[in-house]
């Protein structure tokens, strides 16, 4: 089958990139042709305008460096490494900026099926157009399923009119599945559709699949505490330093160093996002991981790295709770200040037990895909 995948726009989000890559790999292993739809925000949309505002503010903060003429040029510089990975390792459609362009693309390409997912595809405030992620642009009769779709949070963020329209569109899906237990309830109570629980696509592949992308060298995170923090705070920094002190290991951070640039050292190159291969290598090689990222937790688990997950409320805490409860790792989540971490750092993870649980849900998740495709 020729399968289209609708997911959030890919760019600087390493977890988003890897879940999209993983789903393509799984579908290809099943004998399907998989294409990820590059649905971007229109330059006239509020999402784009907000991003442009922050872009201009950020560039002014860089000092003397000449400001590129367009937002697109700025993005291409910062995301050159992640964009290269996507271009080299994934099958992506041309950029599509509107419902009409989506409709025309699907009529031209003759897809047999559409998969909406994974990641927070059903979180309105993250979406270029939430109705597109409920397949409002499809008029012909193709298979439509949600795979590991996520609302991100355990509360309902849709406005009344969004709820009504998305509920109607969701009923046209052949199958719906979500990656959080709370998502099952939201589907039933708000969208009035039955939903299955499945794993995030990244957990459908073995660690060897990801290691095939990594150069056969030792990374900079070897023997260190990997700090993968998306939203910095004093509290999170204290946890990282506490783990570092307890284990007597230095800290390694992989994200761009824009916040550390001072005076004459300000330059755009320091803001460039590292290569995806380096990101994967850091999780593979680190002695310990501290992260507030959902996929940071996932890849700690994939590479069997001991970790602490710091609850990230703004990005959605239900994702963390659902995954860690499922795998018997709920004690790895710190959701508030004042938690004593010494015993947690020293507590070993029963990896054979964790992997047996992953295997159980992996088989069920793959069966779900085979059922509809």
Per-residue pLDDT in tens (0 to 9) along the chain, 373 residues: 999 999 999 988 999 999 999 999 999 999 999 999 999 987 655 444 444 444 344 434 333 333 344 335 557 788 899 999 999 999 999 999 999 999 999 999 999 999 999 889 999 999 999 999 999 999 878 999 999 999 989 999 999 999 999 999 999 999 999 999 999 999 999 999 999 999 999 999 999 999 999 987 888 999 999 999 998 889 899 999 999 999 999 999 988 765 443 433 456 777 788 999 999 999 999 999 999 999 999 999 999 999 999 987 777 788 899 999 999 999 999 987 767 888 899 999 999 999 999 999 999 999 999 999 9
User: Which residues on neighbouring strands pair with residue 177, listed in sequence order?
Assistant: 196
CB < 8 Å & 24+ apart, contacts of 124-128: 124/157, 124/158, 124/159, 124/162, 125/157, 126/8, 126/152, 127/8, 128/9, 128/39, 128/40, 128/41, 128/42, 128/45, 128/47
Do 55 and 47 meet the contact criterion of CB atoms below 8 Å apart?
Answer: no
Q: Is the pTM of this model over 0.95?
A: no
d(CA 204, CA 23): 8
Structure tokens at 77: 């510089």
Do 188 and 252 meet the contact criterion of CB atoms below 8 Å apart?
Answer: no
State the number of CA atoms in the 13 A half-sphere of 151 facing the CB. 24
d(CA 160, CA 176): 21
Q: Which helix (H) or strand (E) holds 114?
A: strand 113-116
Three-state DSSP state, 164: helix
Q: Which helix (H) or strand (E) holds 73?
A: helix 71-78
In the DSSP assignment, the letter for residue 119 is B
Domains of the chain, with CATH numbers?
A: 2-205+360-372 (3.40.50), 217-358 (3.40.50)
Do 147 and 198 meet the contact criterion of CB atoms below 8 Å apart?
Answer: yes
**Residue 150's closest CA among 194, 195, 92, 217?**
195
């Amino acid at each position: 089958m020729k399968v289209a995948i609708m997911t959030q726009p890919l760019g600087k989000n390493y977890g988003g990139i890897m879940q999209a890559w993983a789903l393509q790999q799984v579908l290809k292993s099943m004998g399907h042709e998989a294409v990820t739809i590059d649905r971007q925000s229109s330059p006239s949309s509020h999402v784009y305008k907000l991003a442009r505002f922050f872009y201009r503010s950020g560039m002014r903060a860089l000092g003397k460096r000449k400001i590129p003429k367009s937002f697109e040029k700025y993005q291409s510089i910062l995301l050159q490494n992640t964009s290269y990975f996507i271009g080299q390792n994934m099958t992506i459609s041309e950029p599509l900026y509107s419902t009409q362009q989506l409709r025309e693309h699907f009529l031209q390409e003759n897809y047999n099926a559409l998969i909406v997912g994974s990641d927070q595809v059903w979180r309105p405030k993250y979406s270029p157009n939430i109705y597109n992620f409920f397949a409002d642009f499809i008029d012909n009769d193709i298979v439509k399923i949600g795979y590991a779709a996520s609302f991100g949070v355990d509360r309902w963020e849709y406005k009344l009119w969004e709820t009504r329209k998305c509920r109607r569109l969701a009923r046209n899906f052949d199958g719906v599945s979500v990656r959080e237990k709370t998502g099952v309830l939201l589907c039933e109570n708000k969208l009035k559709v039955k939903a299955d629980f499945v794993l995030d696509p990244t957990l459908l592949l073995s660690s060897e699949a990801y290691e095939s992308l990594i150069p056969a060298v030792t990374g900079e995170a070897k023997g260190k505490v990997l700090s993968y923090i998306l939203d910095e705070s004093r509290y999170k920094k204290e946890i990282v330093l506490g783990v570092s002190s307890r284990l007597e290991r230095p800290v390694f951070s992989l994200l761009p160093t824009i916040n550390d640039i001072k005076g004459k050292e300000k330059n755009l190159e320091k803001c460039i996002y590292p290569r995806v291969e380096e990101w994967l290598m850091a999780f593979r090689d680190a002695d310990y991981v501290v992260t507030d990222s959902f996929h940071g937790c996932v890849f700690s688990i994939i590479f069997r790295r001991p970790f602490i997950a710091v609850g990230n409320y703004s990005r959605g805490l239900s994702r963390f709770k659902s995954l860690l409860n499922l795998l018997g790792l709920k004690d790895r989540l710190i959701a508030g200040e004042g938690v004593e971490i010494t015993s947690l750092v020293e507590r070993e993870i029963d990896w054979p037990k964790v992997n047996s649980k992953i295997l159980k849900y992996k088989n069920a998740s793959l069966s779900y895909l085979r059922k509809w495709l």
